[in-house]
Amino acid sequence: MRAYLWPAVLCLGVAGSSVRSTEAESQREVAERLGALAEGYNVKTDDAGNVVLLALSNHSIHRKDKKAPPAPGVRDDDLAAIAKLAKLQTVFLEKQPITNEGYKVLAKLPELIDLRLHYLNAKKFRGRQGYAYPLADANAALVVNGLRRPLKVLEIKHCFAVKDVSIHRLRPQPELVKLELDTTFAGPEAVPFILGSPKIRNLQLHRTTMSDPDLVRALKALPALEVLELRPAQPRNNKAAAITARSLRGLAGHKKLRAIHMGLRWPDMAYEGGLVHLAGIPTLEVVDLRDAEPAVELARPAVERLHKARPDLTIIVKDGTIEGTRELKTFPRDGHYRWGVMK
């Protein structure tokens, strides 16, 4: 596989007109034309020259010259050219001015199995001629229901401006191995979707408003889980059902979990009935608590008890890593799922 990652090169000829593919254009040329409209992009091709991965990002971290005008991004009429990439398997779209209607073109990709949508509704984009146009909302994710193949990877992340909910309308993906959900997509409405995806090995829930029973039910349904990241925003209504360390009982007796990352708001970090459930998972290698609230000082007794019960574990806290006796294999949150313009 050949990979290409360049900052977008903008010129009036490209930014001022839509991408128009022709039969004479190679797949690589189509992908690069789209990439030239973004701040950063990544293209991978197979040995036959078919584009199999396309990532387009308008995140400011990819803008080398901060004083230059931002890249225009890919709009609906531009994205239509993606239909020519018949072997495309992986699509990553971040901060692009695409509408609900525009995202529907992804359903025309017969080989798509990896879909990553970040910042669906990042801000109020302006059109190239200065007029405003509608942006995507939560319903943009419904393109999943029209895909021709079951997904292996799905990420819907950082959609802070999306206030409505659509995850309950997505068809479960029985072949899914990585699922990353955020904001309204990570609420209690996501539980049926997770239950219908029992092969998940990597689950990340950011700013989740699931309740304790919601989370326990979801975790118990994932016997293949290896990596778990939990960042609770806590339930929208019932604070009595908040996610706490006791919610880890959903992992009791797990046979494959290797890493758990716990961040954001944890009302308690008790050992008994809580972290003790991690001590009973023999495959576990890493417990990452560095981003968890309350401050680790309040949880120090529980952390020390976990370390005593499982001296082989590497436990990461804000004030220093507690090294375990086990030879630690590098096991980041995303592992081989990271590439290109992905953070």
Looking at the fold, whether 244 and 123 belong to one and the same domain comes out as no
CATH number of the structural domain spanning residue 101: 3.80.10
Expressed in percent and rounded to 5, the helix, strand and coil fractions of the chain are 30, 20, 50
Highest mean predicted confidence (pLDDT) among 26-30, 131-135, 295-299:
26-30
d(CA 15, CA 170) in angstroms, rounded, equals 34
> Which pLDDT does position 134 carry in this prediction?
62
pLDDT in tens, 39-59: 999 999 999 999 999 999 998
Looking at the fold, whether 139 and 182 belong to one and the same domain comes out as no
Q: What is the CA radius of gyration of the chain?
A: 21
Domain end (from 114, 138, 164):
164
> Which pLDDT does position 3 carry in this prediction?
38
Answer for the pair 232, 265: CB distance below 8 angstroms, yes or no.
Answer: yes
Looking at the fold, whether 156 and 201 belong to one and the same domain comes out as no
DSSP letter (8 states) at residue 272: I
Mean pLDDT of the region 121-136: 54
Domain count, the chain: 2
Q: What residue type is assigned to position 128 of the chain?
A: R
Kindly tell me if the per-residue pLDDT of 61 is higher than 70.
yes
**Beta-strand runs (E) in the chain:** 2-7, 40-45, 51-57, 90-94, 114-118, 153-157, 178-182, 202-208, 227-232, 259-262, 264-265, 286-288, 292-293, 314-317, 320-322
Looking at the fold, whether 322 and 252 belong to one and the same domain comes out as yes
Residue 171 falls within a domain, yes or no? no
d(CA 178, CA 216) in angstroms, rounded, equals 19
Q: What is the pTM of this model?
A: 0.87
> Which pLDDT does position 25 carry in this prediction?
77
Looking at the fold, whether 127 and 198 belong to one and the same domain comes out as no
The chain-wide mean pLDDT, for the chain, equals 86
Q: Which residues contact 333 (CB under 8 A, 6 or more apart)?
A: 202, 204, 227, 229, 259, 261
Q: How many CB atoms lie within 10 A of CB 198?
A: 14
Q: Which residues pair with 3 in a beta bridge?
A: 44
pLDDT in tens, 166-221: 999 999 999 999 999 999 999 999 999 999 999 999 999 999 999 999 999 999 99
Residue 155 falls within a domain, yes or no? yes
DSSP, collapsed to helix, strand or coil, labels residue 124 as coil
pLDDT in tens, 110-119: 999 999 999 9
Give the DSSP H or E segment for 243.
Answer: none
Domain that holds residue 109: 1-164
Domain end (from 164, 189, 224):
164
Kindly tell me if the per-residue pLDDT of 326 is higher than 50.
yes
pLDDT in tens, 236-266: 777 779 999 999 999 999 999 999 999 998 8
What percent of the chain stands above pLDDT 70?
Answer: 86
Answer for the pair 166, 142: CB distance below 8 angstroms, yes or no.
Answer: yes
Q: Which residues pair with 120 in a beta bridge?
A: none
Assigned token pair, 274: 């809580």
Answer for the pair 331, 339: CB distance below 8 angstroms, yes or no.
Answer: no
pLDDT band at 101 (very low <50, low <70, confident <90, very high): very high
Kindly tell me if the per-residue pLDDT of 294 is higher than 70.
no
What percent of the chain stands above pLDDT 90?
Answer: 65
Provide long-range contacts, Cβ within 8 A and 24+ apart, for 22-26. 25/84
Kindly tell me if the per-residue pLDDT of 148 is higher than 80.
yes
Looking at the fold, whether 116 and 237 belong to one and the same domain comes out as no
Looking at the fold, whether 106 and 219 belong to one and the same domain comes out as no
Mean pLDDT of the region 273-279: 96
CATH number of the structural domain spanning residue 185: 3.80.10.10
d(CA 175, CA 189) in angstroms, rounded, equals 20
Q: How far is CA 248 from CA 7, 114, 232, 290, in A?
A: 42, 29, 13, 17
